[in-house]
Amino acid sequence: MSERKPTLEATTATPATYLAAPPLIGLLQPTESNGGRIQGRPDLEFPLARASDPQTSHEAADRALASGAVYGQRAAVLGAVKRRPGATAGELARDLGHATNHVTCRRLPELEARGLVRRGEPRRCRVTGFRCATWEVPHD
C-alpha cells in the first residue's frame, strides 16, 4: 500500500508548490500513531460543516477529510501566510495557484480560530480590487 499524500483539491492534481513547507504538513495531518489526532493537537481538528448545513455539505466535508485534501490545504494556506504576511485571501490564493479564493477563505478562519494566523489591517486586494482583510502569523 503506497502512502497517500494530501492534495489541495480532492479532484485535481497537486501543484508542486503546495509542499513548500513539509513540517507544516506533519503538524496539520493526523497520524495512526495518535489515533487520528493532528500530531497530538486535537485543537487543530475543525468541524468542516455546520449542523445547520445541508447533507451535501457534510458529505463534502467527509470526502475532504477522508482524502486528506483539507490537511494539505491548511498547511499550504498557513505556509502562504508565513511567506507573505499582510496578503489578502485572494492574493494568497493566487500565490497558491488557485483559480478562486474559495479554499483560502475556508481555511483562514479555521487557522485563525486556533491562533495560527490573525487578521491584519484591511486594504484593497490586488486580485479582487475590493477592500479585504489581510492575514499574518501572530508574533509570540
Does the pTM exceed 0.85? no
80-124 per-position pLDDT tens digit: 999 999 999 999 999 999 999 999 999 999 999 989 999 999 999
> What are φ and ψ of residue 27, in 5° steps?
-65, -35
pLDDT at 46: 62
24-50 per-position pLDDT tens digit: 444 455 544 444 444 444 445 667 888
Element (H, E) at 119: strand 118-119
Query: Which domains can be identified in the chain, with CATH numbers?
Result: 16-136 (1.10.10)
Give the distance from CA 74 to its chain's centroid.
Answer: 2
